[in-house]
Copies of this chain bind each other. A is one copy, B any other.
């Protein structure tokens, strides 16, 4: 059995109130008593029970973070930064992963609520009609990342549409005549929230190439790629995220297709591991650290002061590599 405030009180022949005052320096207390109490607390190895404190105070000092998984370096970096920032502000991280499953996601949210997190940072894939209402009903500070859920819920992100438009313009300016655009299935929109994906696609769609564009949005994008003669038309393959671009690079290398002389490739996200990849991938970069910092900052402010959280648009830029 762990040692409690009562044990200390008994050992020191004082009341629990006095122990509390000594331990948390509140109110006035006779110095020698305070010393005695602190000493015996230490001697007994007292560790305050935060669960009890949380129950009493109605605050857990915990931020719930729900993301898809940790395979994508974007999320592991993000959480890494958030954890540091949260610790600075004396918050703790509760982590849950949804693996892109909207039922799991709802369970994760409910669990966070049951665990009384003070605020929630959510990367959602849920596209149910009243999901935004359902979320707001819990009435705790909430921030969405990755996919926007509704205009009424704060959202921190790059401008995916503009960023992808810039990317498409960039490859166009490089003299490519045909873009093959590779994306996870846009048909997921019937079952999932794929806001960011759609934004990127829309941005891409705003640029017209001399020849037609080809959209590949199948899970089997490599097989689709095989059906196309990519050596025609001065072609570039624009990928909606780096992890797709890496697979494409592997495919092209296997086919002995030269990059960039025969085909160009461009990614999106600028994940860390790119620095080990050859040829260096041209990609769209944005500061993940900043997203994490702003998210923790905003949510902790909202927890402590009922401030409304502002949407934030993170700046992006194009990183010139050697892949086009």
Q: In residues 253-285 of chain A, which contact B (Cβ within 8 Å)?
A: 253, 272-273, 275-278
Contact indicator A76/B71 (Cβ below 8 Å): yes
A197 at the interface (CB under 8 A from B): no
- When the two chains form the complex, which single residue of B49, B70, B250, B276 contacts A250, counting CB atoms closer than 8 Å? B276
Contact with B along A133-157 (1 / 0, CB 8 A): 0000100000000000000000000
A166 → B minimal CB distance (Å) = 25
Q: Nearest CB to that of A112 among chain B residues? A: B92
Any B CB within 8 A of the CB of A93: yes
Residues of the B chain whose Cβ atoms lie less than 8 Å from the Cβ of A277 = 276-277
Of the stretches A29-37, A77-85, A302-310, A311-319, the one at the interface is A77-85
Report the nearest B residue to A75, measured CB to CB.
Answer: B76
In the complex, the answer to whether B79 meets A70 with C-beta atoms within 8 Å is: yes
CB-defined contacts of A83 to chain B, threshold 8 Å: 70, 95-97
Please indicate the chain B residues that have their CB under 8 angstroms from the CB of A113 in the complex.
47
Contacts of A250 in B (CB 8 A): 275-276
A52 an interface residue at 8 Å Cβ cutoff?
yes
B70–A60 contact, CB under 8 A? no
**Interface residue A320 (Cβ < 8 Å from any Cβ of B):** no
Chain A interfacial residues counted at CB < 8 A: 45
Instruction: Report the separation of the CA atoms of residues A60 and B60 in the bound assembly, to the nearest whole angstrom.
Output: 13
Tallying the copies of this chain within the complex gives: 2
Against B, the Cβ 8 Å flags (1 = close, 0 = not) of A52-63 are 101100001000
Mask: chain A, 88-115; 1 = CB below 8 Å from B; 0 = not: 0000111111010000000000110111
Contact of A95 among B60, B95, B110 (CB under 8 A): B95
- Residue A12 at the B interface, CB < 8 A? no
Cβ A48 vs Cβ B93 within 8 A = no
By the criterion CB–CB under 8 Å, are B114 and A48 in contact?
yes
A318 to B83 Cα, complex, angstroms: 35
Closest 10 CB pairs of A and B: A76-B76, A70-B76, A70-B80, A50-B114, A246-B276, A273-B273, A95-B95, A50-B115, A51-B116, A83-B97
20 contacts between A and B (CB under 8 A): A47-B110, A48-B114, A49-B55, A50-B116, A51-B51, A51-B55, A70-B77, A70-B79, A70-B83, A71-B272, A80-B97, A93-B94, A94-B95, A246-B276, A250-B275, A250-B276, A273-B276, A276-B276, A276-B277, A277-B277
The chain A residues found within 8 Å of chain B, CB to CB, are 45, 47-52, 54-55, 60, 69-71, 73, 76-77, 79-80, 83-84, 87, 92-97, 99, 110-111, 113-116, 137, 246, 249-250, 253, 272-273, 275-278
